[in-house]
Amino acid sequence: MNVQCVPIGRKSSRLPYTPRMKVELPEHHSTLYSSFPASRLGRSALEASLREQQIAALLNVNRWSCASEMCGPELVFGTESRQSRFQTEGFVMDAKIVLLPGDGIGPEIVTQGKRVLESIAARYGHTFSMPEHPIGGNAIDDFGDPLPQPTIDSCKDSDAILLGAVGGPKWDDPAAKTRPEVGLLKIRQELGLFANLRPINTFDELVDASPLRREIVAGTDILFFRELTGGIYFGDSGRRPHESGEEAYNEMVYSTGEVERIVRLAAAAAKDRRGKLTSVDKANVLEVSRLWRQVAERVVREEFPEIEYEVVLVDAMAMHLISRPKDFDVVVTGNMFGDILTDAASMLPGSLGLLPSASLGSDGPGLYEPIHGSAPDIAGRNIANPLATFLASAMLLRHSLNLSEEADAIETAVAAALQSGHRTKDIAAGGTSVSTTEMGDLVLQQLT
């Protein structure tokens, strides 16, 4: 049976890249429209849709997956000028990836990330256009705005975004009209990126670089879900007169819907990992956390009864991350708590330079970045660790473009570079180290 799939517009769905397709079935079937999502966070919970099941039943196809195995007829994707064939080995992708180098070491690590993505495109026959746009302090300097409108427009028209870092002491004046971090908050809001995913994994080769003992940290595998567009960072704030001079205030606000959507994603991920979800709040003090706890418990009880669920207060969680990190699987929490806890957890593998993150919404492109900051003290010295940027690029390929084999290739290349003993300065423990560019060369050697 031949099935002709005609693109009807580039569109991203909840987690992965999902080009919409018009599926033209034989005459005795009606024409159906569907997308073909795939997520390594929770396949069974996040991939399935009624449309896909209908099409799969009609074609006797057991599973749709844009970058993995498929049983059934060949699908043809294409336009008048270009066609690509989706078979068991994958398909050719034409994607727009916006690069936002930002400040500090951002340009150095994004340059290396671009090299890796170019290598993947060449190896697998994809075409990635990768325009660069300003964000953060450099955008303030050049345009007076940490997130210029052309940057927003290009990001909205993209399939995915790779970010370096923003900020630095040059723009730290508290009396300044605006700050680089405003650009980061604004892009999350503009793109509706409500879910921040931060995997915390240890590399066997680097466990001894962790400040914790090997027996505590080895084997840690945590996936944090941090709510990203609500809470105190987006609440009302300001200053007002006070009898002592001034007082400042920030409001923490969460709605039922904001809690539901992030908890659902986290629970779906837990269902397809080790089946355990931990929700972190401060319900013994904060009314916001009491609402969070009530909504989270209801969502899990009614929609995910098969998973193990626990609630931990944020201060206790900070201690548990240090004393027993291997006990946790998926952790979901609010914006500020997630910001603090994930930075603390980032030291478990031994370096901020090893950990990527993804910021995703219900529609549109995802934003991918290393979790380390702009590190202005080492900017321009070619010693920054680019591995987290490479791993963020792998997340981009997997979750926004459905290119799992390509993502696996990057992750394997990073592991191989580490296994061969190569280290950047931050993980060299005083020994011999390689530069940012040299580490990029080593990973590229593994990809060719």
- Of the candidates 29, 58, 86, which is a domain's last residue? 86
272 is catalytic: no
Contact 376, 369 (CB under 8 A): no
74: DSSP letter = -
Q: Does 432 lie in the same domain as 387?
A: yes
Q: Does 230 lie in the same domain as 127?
A: yes
Burial zone of 432 (CB within 10 Å; 0-12 exposed, 13-18 middle, 19+ buried): exposed
Q: 11's torsion region: left (phi>0), alpha (psi -120 to 50) or beta?
A: beta
Prediction pTM value: 0.76
Question: For position 392, what pLDDT does the model report?
Answer: 97
Q: Which of 17, 124, 233, 368 is catalytic?
A: 233
Question: For position 199, what pLDDT does the model report?
Answer: 93
Which tokens is 80 given? Answer: 């008048």
Question: For position 337, what pLDDT does the model report?
Answer: 97
Question: Hey, what amino acid is at 307?
Answer: I
Q: Does 205 lie in the same domain as 65?
A: no
Question: For position 410, what pLDDT does the model report?
Answer: 97
- Of the candidates 26, 58, 86, which is a domain's last residue? 86
Q: Does 330 lie in the same domain as 242?
A: yes
- Backbone φ and ψ for 182, nearest 5 degrees, come out as -60, -35
Q: Does 316 lie in the same domain as 194?
A: yes
339 is catalytic: yes
Q: Does 127 lie in the same domain as 257?
A: yes
Mean pLDDT, rounded, for 54-62: 31
343 is catalytic: yes
**Count of structural domains within the chain:** 2
- Of the candidates 66, 86, 106, which is a domain's last residue? 86
Q: Does 17 lie in the same domain as 39?
A: yes
d(CA 190, CA 94): 24
Which tokens is 244 given? Answer: 């002592």
- Residue 196 pLDDT > 90, yes or no? yes
Question: For position 212, what pLDDT does the model report?
Answer: 87
Q: Which of 94, 343, 408, 441 is catalytic?
A: 343
The CATH number of the domain holding residue 405 is 3.40.718.10
Q: Does 263 lie in the same domain as 211?
A: yes
- Residue 343 pLDDT > 90, yes or no? no
282 is catalytic: yes
d(CA 43, CA 269): 8
Question: b vs e for 72-86, b when ≥16 Cβ sit within 10 Å of the residue's Cβ?
Answer: eeebebeeeeeebeb
Question: For position 363, what pLDDT does the model report?
Answer: 84
Burial zone of 244 (CB within 10 Å; 0-12 exposed, 13-18 middle, 19+ buried): exposed
315 is catalytic: yes
pLDDT tens-digit map of 100-132: 999 999 999 999 999 999 999 999 999 999 999
Q: Does 217 lie in the same domain as 159?
A: yes
Mean pLDDT, rounded, for 202-221: 87
Question: For position 66, what pLDDT does the model report?
Answer: 33
Q: Does 403 lie in the same domain as 278?
A: yes
pLDDT tens-digit map of 154-192: 999 999 999 999 999 999 888 888 999 999 999 999 999
pLDDT tens-digit map of 69-104: 333 332 322 223 222 323 334 567 899 999 999 999
Among 71-75, 236-240, 246-250, 379-383, which stretch is predicted with the lowest mean pLDDT? 71-75
Q: Which of 172, 315, 327, 377 is catalytic?
A: 315
Place of tokens 């669920």: 309
Burial zone of 276 (CB within 10 Å; 0-12 exposed, 13-18 middle, 19+ buried): middle
Q: Tell me which of 46 and 147 has the higher pLDDT.
A: 147
Where are the alpha helices (H) located in 48-201, listed in sequence order? 50-59, 106-124, 137-143, 149-156, 180-191
Q: Does 202 lie in the same domain as 57?
A: no
Mean pLDDT, rounded, for 393-399: 95
What's the mean per-residue pLDDT of the chain?
Answer: 82
**What separation, in Å, do the N-terminal and C-terminal C-alpha atoms of the chain show?**
37
- Indicate if the alpha-carbon torsion angle 299, 301, 306, 309 is positive or negative: positive
- Domain of 442 in residue numbering reads as 94-447
Q: Does 139 lie in the same domain as 45?
A: no
